[in-house]
Structure 1
Amino acid sequence: MNMSAVWLFLKGVAMGAADVVPGVSGGTIAFITGIYGELLDSIRSINLNALKTLFRDGPQAAWKAINGTFLLTLGSGILLALVSLARVLHHLLLHYPVLLWAFFFGLIIASCWHMGKTIAQWRWQELLALVSGAVIAAFISLASPTSIEPTTLIIFGAGSIAICAMILPGISGSFILLLMGLYEPVLGAVRSGDIVLLGTFAAGAGLGLMLFSRVLSWLLHHYEHTLMALLTGFMAGSLVKVWPWKETISTRVNSKGEIIPFIQQNSLPVVDDMFAVAVVLMVIGALVVLIMERVAVSHK
């Protein structure tokens, strides 16, 4: 495996890690690391034409047509992160939420700056898209979670919806699952290896990904700056969800019998040692974005 493949695999790991945490999107990582456009175009290329190429020119030509090596390498990194980091991030979210949120808060602020500077000219269209994206993301972030019975059809539909959010910078697929009351069942299935539930979720995600990636790819090629402004707004609005300091309004018992927060509202921080550590982690999160940006440029 050459170094470019290793870097692509690591980008997949970063995307997968981000997707596990409610409020953070793997699409944000894809954009920061410079693979967002290629990712959308590669997913869009999986279509009937690729199937015709398979029968007409053989597997090698079809694999090249769908950019298979790119998708396999990136997907392997995402899958590894989902399987290996799900337990770790869940533990941090349960026991050290302020510190984990602080890290991602800094990461998202820097991501907003990174994405915003790609827009060469701010016209009224871009400003309107920015504000609209921020309002939509903030509204979603402030919505109260619900509880839905995880039937096969519901899990399939949740996969279709969540994957659309996961490839949108600023809209977290994990948080969409949390709003639907399905975050714990899906994360629990990852930890326990529930093949049936994960297979159903993956099938729904595959369908959603095929359809939604085509829309996003078309917008990226025809209305790039307006789309970038909208996505920047999505990320800015998601800061409402990622704000580290929260007051718990109500709790619930998860599948392991643990009491966890259910409904929370943002609050002002208490200036103490934990506050200082949180600020340091915010800075580290911002630096991670700058480092990923540098690495992405140097490995193009």
Structure 2
Amino acid sequence: MGAADIVPGVSGGTIAFITGIYEELINSIKSVSWKTVVILKQQGIAAAWSSINGWFLLTLFSGILFSVFTLAKLISFLLVAYPEMLWSFFFGLVLASVWHISQQIKVWRWINIVPVLLGVLVAWGAGSATPAEVEATTLNLFLSGCLAICAMILPGVSGSFILLLLGMYSVILDAVKSLDIAVLAVFAGGCIVGLLTIANLLAWTFKRFHDYTLLVLTGFMIGALDKVWPWKETISFRTNSHGEQVPLLQSNVLPGTFETITGQPSQLGLALVSAASGIVIVLLLEKMGRSRH
């Protein structure tokens, strides 16, 4: 989940869904509330820890943090040096994930297309939005954490891309690489508030509208395929906070068109291998998720 969350366009929630821990994750986060404090006072630490599924959350978030801090530099390098292969890998990952989630719908009816289309439109609209430049104030860092973590927990909606839209992606990534505790602490505070909020909402929707929630999430992931398409034509650029020219608006193109426009090889063969690797990983994770239950 941590590795996926680093890449703009890919969601850690997708990985949670593939491995079969998504609903347990949502319900565990939801259980962290004022009631936990009451249990702590009345029954002690062990009872409070058990009430929030503490070992599950500790193990999961330790893995996420470990991955973020160890892979931030590697992912940044791959996005620059081997973008077609990296995006192809995640395209295969998301494509196979769409199939995986759709298999969990209990009853398929024609009306199911409505929530799927809703999810597609939301994810596609977010992916097509133009990145902004927001000053990295304490309030903006906190609010960015709230919004990004909500996206990170939703399959198909990328928290990193939300940060990119807000102009905060490079700020947070630099803070991770340089261990800027002040920036990370404010951002983490926003993440905690946002996480508890979205977990309660998702837990309620899963309980009341299980299949429709899955259908919307399936739409999110279909819409995300547009963002993770490996070959793009850059229409315009912007200058980031470091004074570097980075893509602002891009459109998807075919591999042959990409070679014509850029004069660079499309790396089609390696891209197909990368996409196939993503699909295989989803199938393996799905098998792990089934064996877990």
Q: TM-score scaled to structure 1, two decimals?
A: 0.92
Structure 1 Cα separation of the partners of residues 22 and 81 of structure 2: 33
Q: By how many angstroms is 1:190 displaced? A: 0.5
Letter in 2 for 1:88: L
Q: By how many angstroms is 1:267 displaced? A: 1.4
| 1:264-283 equivalence runs, <5 A | 264-270=250-256, 274-283=267-276
Structure 2 Cα separation of the partners of residues 273 and 39 of structure 1: 39
Structure 2 Cα separation of the partners of residues 181 and 218 of structure 1: 32
Partner of 1:19: 5
Number of residues of Structure 1 aligned to a counterpart in Structure 2: 286
In structure 1, list runs of 5 or more residues that go unmatched.
1-14
For the 8 Å contact 2:93–2:275, the answer to whether it is kept is yes
Matched, 1:297 2:290: yes
Partner of 1:5: none
Partner of 2:52: 66
Which residue of 232, 242, 249 corresponds with 2:218?
A: 232
For the 8 Å contact 1:44–1:214, the answer to whether it is kept is yes
Q: Which moved more, 1:284-293 or 1:255-264?
A: 255-264
Structure 2 Cα separation of the partners of residues 295 and 171 of structure 1: 23
Q: By how many angstroms is 1:126 displaced? A: 2.3
Structure 1 Cα separation of the partners of residues 43 and 291 of structure 2: 35
Partner of 1:197: 183
Letter in 1 for 2:133: S
| 1:142-153 equivalence runs, <5 A | 142-153=128-139
Cα deviation per residue 1:255-276 (whole Å; 9 max; x = unaligned)?
A: 5565433332211112867111
Which residue of 2, 27, 31 corresponds with 1:45?
A: 31
Which residue of 271, 277, 286 corresponds with 2:279?
A: 286
In structure 2, list runs of 5 or more residues that go unmatched.
260-264
Q: By how many angstroms is 1:250 displaced? A: 2.8
Q: By how many angstroms is 1:124 displaced? A: 4.2
Matched, 1:115 2:108: no
Structure 1 Cα separation of the partners of residues 225 and 41 of structure 2: 48
Q: By how many angstroms is 1:60 displaced? A: 0.5
For the 8 Å contact 1:125–1:226, the answer to whether it is kept is no
For the 8 Å contact 1:126–1:230, the answer to whether it is kept is no
Identity across the alignment (%): 49
Structure 2 Cα separation of the partners of residues 231 and 190 of structure 1: 29
Indicate the SS of the match to 2:226: helix
Indicate the SS of the match to 1:242: coil
Q: By how many angstroms is 1:141 displaced? A: 0.7
Cα deviation per residue 1:27-49 (whole Å; 9 max; x = unaligned)?
A: 00000000000000000000111
Structure 1 Cα separation of the partners of residues 166 and 270 of structure 2: 32
Letter in 2 for 1:31: F
Letter in 1 for 2:150: C
Letter in 1 for 2:199: S
Partner of 1:36: 22
Please identify runs of 4+ aligned residues in structure 1 that moved more than 2 A: 123-126, 249-263, 270-273
Structure 1 Cα separation of the partners of residues 285 and 130 of structure 2: 33
Q: Which moved more, 1:260-269 or 1:44-53?
A: 260-269
Partner of 1:103: 89
Which residue of 89, 98, 116 corresponds with 1:130?
A: 116
Q: By how many angstroms is 1:120 displaced? A: 1.8
Q: TM-score scaled to structure 2, two decimals?
A: 0.94
Letter in 1 for 2:115: A
Matched, 1:93 2:86: no
Q: By how many angstroms is 1:103 displaced? A: 0.3
Partner of 2:262: none
Indicate the SS of the match to 1:150: coil
Structure 2 Cα separation of the partners of residues 95 and 260 of structure 1: 14
Indicate the SS of the match to 1:262: strand
